[in-house]
Amino acid sequence: MLGTETQRHPFLQGLSKHRGAPPTVIVIFGASGDLTSRKLIPAIYNLSVDNLLPPDFHLIGYGRKQMENAAFQEAMTESVKTFSRRELNDEIWARIRDTASYHSGGYDEPEPYRKLGERIESIEKELGREVQALFYISTPPSVFKPILENLGASGLARRHRHGAFASKVVIEKPFGRDLESARDLNAVITRQFDETQVYRIDHYLGKETVQDLLVRRFANSIFEPLWNRRYVDCVQITVAEDIGVGSRGSYYEQSGAMRDMIQNHTMQLLSLTAMEPPVSLDPESIRDEKVKLLKAIQPLDPGARQGDVVRAQYAEGLVGGKKVPGYAQEDGVDPDSATETYAALRLSINNWRWSGVPFYMRSGKRMARRVSEIAVQFKRPPGILFSDAERFDLASNTMVIQIQPDEGTTLLLNSKIPGLETRTQPVKMHFRYRTTYGSNTPEAYERLILDSMVGDSTLFIRGDETESSWKLITPILETWEKYGRQGMESYVAGSWGPLAAEQLLWRQGHEWRRAGP
Ligand code: BG6
């Protein structure tokens, strides 16, 4: 039974064995960018270490910069040396490096695409077989459209469109900046590609702990019966970072926490935590459930007084004992900026399972520590037996799924303190990836690049999914834009966020957990 299931669902196969990706030419648009050197090239190298790249694998870097092949190969080698989770093994690396080439060209003129097509054909001639072309768009979003249109116009999108070697396109975030632009981008994509050829990235889905969410929920029988409004008091999702905007000030000014983290990463965590069980593990069944969940979220009224949304900007403070500037003093940031570096929301899900259960989400830069977690807080038992607060220190049972950095799950229980007197205190049961599996787990991008080559879209965002999420977020962004800095809260860098975010929970009789294991 397991054997048949595994063959049917690539999701079940994981990284454990070669999953039969056809011969592939991966073309990275934005080849000299930060993401390429920090994440994509090291991920490709690590796939090769694990023998997971298809036998005839070629890498082409595409960028506006003029560069010789040798210089590109040198830059890639540096990125593996600096950012790979495993040390560079020259013999393995040489197999990728020596066939890698650089293709310089503008993004919005047809000629370089024609030449790119010729280059792919010449690789096919050398190999004596067809290859699939995987176009990885890792550029600033302003050139997504011209790239997609030119891939279409040059015939590259339609190469073997329905065959085993159909071209594929992987698109990095941000996918639009509001509902209208996301729809517009989807329309451009679907004019050139079938949805089955499209892989919209949210790298959180490639994280081991995020994939484990489905296993935790649906491969254990003890949690699912409790996973509903009868037993759950509230759910808290935290994606906190201690870093500031660093050198990305001018990008971040156009984005802010809502677009950068909430619309995509935190919404994905929410969907996987709250969705109904899918009928099977195939990509469409899982994505159908996520979309259903997003549609059940009650639209927010961002204009209402004491609304369900808080935005804030970090002020100067101390992080790790070091003084750091406020957001408005960062490079590339307008001193009067109205961009939020923190956002918190209270969401209600109007469906049978979750009616009446608040879902709180928060994400921010320059917070007290880097930690991402999902905390499912259960209702307290009736206060009949252990009601004397002097002796009985009781916490709500809480299941905390730590997404990063200290991956694992913690269960908060109440326990009797050993002794002749009956006293209680909350205790923690821990499961840590580090102790159970060791620490060298694959990076999100390894999984995602492999899945896109193999053709498994489970961990990618479908077009309607991204629109459903933008539909919820866009009215908030529009209201914020209208009010400018009015209503913007402030928090000290290195803290857990603004007071207003605490009040958001206090009003419901809850409080934020001190995130962490
Ligand atoms: C990116 C955001 O999508 O995710 C960054 O643009 C953020 O601002 C990053 O720092 C966080 O990713 P991770 O994997 O480090 O949690």
Q: From 156, 172, 188, give the residue that closes a domain.
A: 172
Report which ligand 1 atom has the smallest distance to the Cα of 252.
Answer: 8
pLDDT, tens digit (0-9, with 9 covering 90-100), for 373-418 = 999 999 998 888 888 888 888 899 999 999 999 999 999 999 999 9
Q: Is the pLDDT reported for residue 266 higher than 50?
A: yes
* CATH number of the CATH domain containing 56: 3.40.50.720
Q: What is the mean pLDDT of residues 419-432?
A: 93
With a 6 A CB cut-off, is 467 part of the ligand 1 pocket?
A: no
* For the CA of 173, the nearest atom of ligand 1: 3
How far apart, in Å, do the first and last CA atoms of the chain sit?
Answer: 37
Work out which ligand 1 atom sits closest to the CA atom of 372.
16
| Residues 17 and 147 reside in one and the same domain | yes
Q: Which atom of ligand 1 is nearest to the CA of 370?
A: 16
Under the banding of pLDDT at 50, 70 and 90, the label for residue 21 is: confident
Shared-domain flag, residues 256 and 313: yes
DSSP state of 488: -
**Residues 157, 214: one domain?**
no
Q: Residue 17: pLDDT band by 50, 70, 90 thresholds?
A: very low
Asked if residue 512 is part of any domain, the answer here is no
Tell me the CA–centroid distance for residue 430 and ligand 1, in Å.
Answer: 26
Q: Which of 145, 163, 151, 83 is nearest to 120 (CA)?
A: 151
Residue 40 lies in a domain: yes
Nearest CA to ligand 1 atom 14: 204
DSSP run (H or E) holding 479: helix 463-483
Q: Using the CB atoms, write b or e for 101-140: b if 16+ within 10 Å.
A: bbbbbebeeeebbbebbebbeebbeeeeebbbbbbbbbbe
Q: What confidence tens digit (pLDDT) does each residue in 470-488 have?
A: 999 999 999 999 999 999 9
pTM score: 0.93
The answer to whether residues 475 and 302 touch, using CB atoms and an 8 Å cutoff, is yes
For the beta carbon of residue 58, count every other beta carbon within 10 angstroms: 22
Same domain, yes or no, for 376 and 232?
yes
Final residue of a structural domain among 129, 151, 172: 172
pLDDT in tens, 224-233: 999 999 999 9
CA-nearest of 209, 269, 218, 217 to 239 is: 269
Residue 23, domain extent:
5-172
**350 pLDDT tier (thresholds 50, 70, 90):** very high
Atom of ligand 1 nearest to the CA of 243: 10
Percent of the chain with pLDDT over 70: 95
Q: How far is the CA of 130 from the centre of ligand 1 (A)?
A: 36
Do 297 and 421 lie in one domain? The reply is yes
Q: For a substitution probing ligand 1, which of 261, 267, 342, 406 has the most ligand atoms within 8 Å of its CB?
A: 261
The CA 241 to ligand 1 mean position distance, Å, reads 8
Domain count for the chain? 2
Q: Does the CB atom of residue 260 touch ligand 1 within 6 A? A: yes
CA of 370 relative to ligand 1 center, distance in Å: 11
265 assigned to active site: yes
Q: How many CB atoms lie within 10 A of CB 36?
A: 23
Lowest-pLDDT range of 11-15, 83-87, 137-141, 485-489: 11-15
- pLDDT value at residue 158: 87
**241 and 146: one domain?**
no
- The reply to whether 90 and 134 lie within a common domain is yes
Is residue 200 a part of any domain in this protein?
Answer: no
Per-residue confidence (pLDDT) for residue 177, from 0 to 100: 95
Q: Which listed residue (18, 265, 430, 510) is catalytic? A: 265
Which residue of 40, 177, 200, 241 sits with most ligand 1 atoms within 8 Å of its CB, as the best mutation to test the pocket? 241
206 burial (CB, 10 Å; 0-12 / 13-18 / 19+) is: buried
Residues present in the chain in total? 517
Domain assignment present for residue 197? The answer is no
Give the residue-averaged pLDDT of 190-214: 94
Helix (H) or strand (E) holding 233: strand 232-240
Could you report the per-residue pLDDT of 113-131, keeping only the tens digit for each?
Answer: 999 999 999 999 999 999 9
pLDDT band per the 50, 70, 90 thresholds, residue 457: very high
My answer on whether 220 and 151 are in the same domain is no
Cβ proximity of 400 and 374 under 8 Å: yes
On the question of pLDDT at 320 being above 90, the answer is no
Q: Are 345 and 204 in contact (CB under 8 A)?
A: no
Q: Does ligand 1 lie within 6 Å of residue 208's CB atom?
A: no
CATH of the domain at 482: 3.30.360.10
What's the pLDDT band for 331 if we cut at 50, 70, 90? very high
Extract the tokens encoding 261: 């983290």
Position 4 pLDDT exceeds 70: no
* 186 within domain boundaries: no
Nearest CA, atom 4, ligand 1: 261
Token pair in block for residue 318: 């101390």
Does one domain contain both 227 and 141?
Answer: no
The reply to whether ligand 1 has any atom less than 6 angstroms from the CB of 316 is no
Give percent of the chain with pLDDT exceeding 90: 85
Q: Please, what's the largest Cα pairwise distance for the chain?
A: 84
pLDDT digits (tens, 9 = 90+) for 243-261: 999 888 989 999 999 999 9
Cα of 261 vs centre of ligand 1, distance in Å, is 7
In-domain check, residue 192: no
- Read off the pLDDT of each residue in 338-346 and give the average, rounded to a whole number: 97
What are the pLDDT digits (tens) for 23-61?
A: 999 999 999 999 999 999 999 999 999 999 998 999 999
List Cα–Cα distances, 313 to 123, 248, 326, 424, 504, in angstroms: 50, 16, 8, 40, 17
In a domain, 181, yes or no: no
Which three-class secondary structure state does DSSP give residue 411?
strand
Kindly state if the Cβ of 241 falls inside 6 Å of ligand 1.
Answer: yes
Given a contact cutoff of 8 angstroms between Cβ atoms, the answer to whether 424 and 434 are in contact is no
- 153 in a structural domain: yes
End of a domain among 121, 155, 172? 172
Q: Are residues 313 and 394 in the same domain?
A: yes
pLDDT value at residue 304:
63
Judge whether residue 2 has pLDDT over 50: no
Phi and psi at 27, nearest 5°, equal: -110, 115
Averaged pLDDT, 265-280: 97
In a shared domain, residues 398 and 298: yes
419 alpha carbon to ligand 1 midpoint, in Å?
47
Same domain, 158 and 227: no
Spatial distance between the Cα atoms of 474 and 178, rounded to a whole number of angstroms:
5
Q: How much helix, strand and coil, in percent to the nearest 5, is found in the chain?
A: 40, 20, 40
